[in-house]
Amino acid sequence: MTNRVALITGGARGIARGIALELGAKQWSVAICYRTSEQDAQQTTHTIEESGGRALAIRCDVSDPNSVKNLVRQVESTWGQIDALINGAGPYHRVNLFKETPTGWTEMIQNNLDPVFYLAQAVAPGMRARKYGRIISFGMANVDKMEAQPHVTAHYIAKAGVVILTRTLAKMLAPDGITVNAISPGYIDSGSAPPGELDGIEKNIPAGYIGEISDTVSAVQYLLSDEARYVTGANLQISGGWGI
């Protein structure tokens, strides 16, 4: 997987940062997209460069379609191509549905679902021209059960949309040698959970423990590999049995 170029949104922190560091260590050229975490993004690119990889940190609001087009153009003009798109940006908040605001509702959709569409639309022409590409997005481990979610309703709906969009893109892009898959984590100790949210949660996880960033990174590496060339439209759960 050397001499490849990855565009990773949300790559300054958490799971997406772990993916960026792993690909950088494997000599990928990694473009990290961030919106507010400039210091974290710069630290991540510095670490990648220290390991011998190439890295860019680009500020971009991926909920804006015009900004997304400029982002993709910048990466392609710098390195000539984008081989892998990792949709790692995906904020959430917990709030009772009847206390949710119109702004909060809209932000969950705009920041979790819309960017997957905008970015896929922007990177697809280059991938199609080269007859190669990998697109990976993130859902939730229990999203395919369509359960009631009184406190993360908009986020859950957006993640369900990500899975549907993933399958649609997979079907449309398969003839061009492009795979499109989703990874749906359960409880992962990524540093993004509010204080106390993970306390005692192990008892609800069949495997008996909370996952680590490396568990998700390993799944991403597989889906990026040539061994996964025939895997597309999948929704891979990384949850230790939670949510199934």
Along the 244 residues of the chain, how does pLDDT read in single tens digits?
458 999 999 999 999 999 999 999 999 999 999 998 889 999 999 999 998 889 999 999 999 999 999 999 999 999 999 999 999 988 889 999 999 999 999 999 999 999 999 999 999 999 999 999 999 999 999 999 999 999 999 999 999 999 999 999 999 999 999 999 999 999 999 877 666 777 788 999 999 999 999 999 999 999 999 999 999 999 999 999 999 8
CB proximity list for 179: less than 8 A, separation 6 or greater: 133, 134, 135, 170, 173, 223, 228, 229, 231, 232
The overall longest dimension of the chain from CA atoms, in Å, is 50
Q: What is the 3-state secondary structure (H, E, C) of the chain?
A: CCCCEEEEECCCCHHHHHHHHHHHHCCCEEEEEECCCHHHHHHHHHHHHHCCCEEEEEECCCCCHHHHHHHHHHHHHHHCCCCEEEECCCCCCCCCHHHCCHHHHHHHHHHHCHHHHHHHHHHHHHHHHHCCEEEEEECCCCHHHCCCCCCCHHHHHHHHHHHHHHHHHHHHHHHHCEEEEEEEECCEECCCCCCCCCCCHHHHCCCCCCEEHHHHHHHHHHHHCHHHCCCCCCEEEECCCCCC
Res 36: pLDDT: 87
Q: Are 33 and 19 in contact (CB under 8 A)?
A: no
Q: Are strands 211-212 and 235-238 parallel, antiparallel or unpaired?
A: unpaired
Which tokens hold the place of 75?
A: 């990466």
Q: Are 67 and 93 in contact (CB under 8 A)?
A: no
- The structural domains of the chain, ordered by start, are 5-238 (3.40.50.720)
